Amino acid sequence: MLDFQRITRETDLYNLHTHTQYCDGHATIEEFVAEAVQQGFTHLGFTPHSPISVESPCNMSRENMQPYFDEVERMRKVYGDRIKLYTSMEIDYVSVGDGPASEYFQNLPLDYRIGSVHFIPAIDNPSEMVDIDGKFPAFKARMTKYFNCDIEYVVRTFFSQMMAMVEEGGFDIVGHMDKIGFNASQYLEGIDEEPWYDKLVIDLFENIMDHHLTIEINTKAWLQRNRFYPNLKYFGMLKRFNAPIVVNSDAHYPTLLNNGRLEAIKLLNVL
pLDDT digits (tens, 9 = 90+) for 11-67: 999 999 999 999 999 999 999 999 999 999 999 999 999 999 998 999 999 999 999
Residue 127 vs residues 53, 54, 119, 133, 192: alpha-carbon distances, Å: 12, 10, 11, 18, 27
**What is the average pLDDT value for the chain, to the nearest integer?**
97
For residue 130, pLDDT over 80 is answered with yes
d(CA 91, CA 170): 10
Q: What is the pLDDT of residue 42?
A: 98
Q: List all residues 6 or more positions away from 75 whose beta carbon is below 8 Å from its beta carbon.
A: 29, 30, 33, 85
Give the model confidence (pLDDT) of 169-219 as tens digits: 999 999 999 999 999 999 999 999 999 999 999 999 999 999 999 999 999
Q: What is the pLDDT of residue 96?
A: 93
Q: What is the pLDDT of residue 271?
A: 82
For residue 244, pLDDT over 80 is answered with yes
Q: What is the DSSP letter of 18?
A: B
Residue 107 vs residues 60, 112, 193: alpha-carbon distances, Å: 17, 12, 41
Q: Quick one: average pLDDT of 80-100?
A: 97
For the chain, what's the residue count? 271
Q: DSSP of 143-171, one letter per residue?
A: HHHHHTT-HHHHHHHHHHHHHHHHHH---
Q: What is the pLDDT of residue 1?
A: 77
User: H-type helices in the chain, by residue range?
Assistant: 4-10, 29-39, 65-79, 103-106, 136-147, 151-168, 180-187, 195-210, 222-225, 235-240, 261-270
In this prediction the pTM is: 0.97
Q: List all residues 6 or more positions away from 44 whose beta carbon is below 8 Å from its beta carbon.
A: 14, 15, 16, 18, 32, 33, 36, 83, 84, 85, 86, 257
Residue 207 vs residues 130, 194, 195, 212, 239: alpha-carbon distances, Å: 25, 20, 18, 9, 16
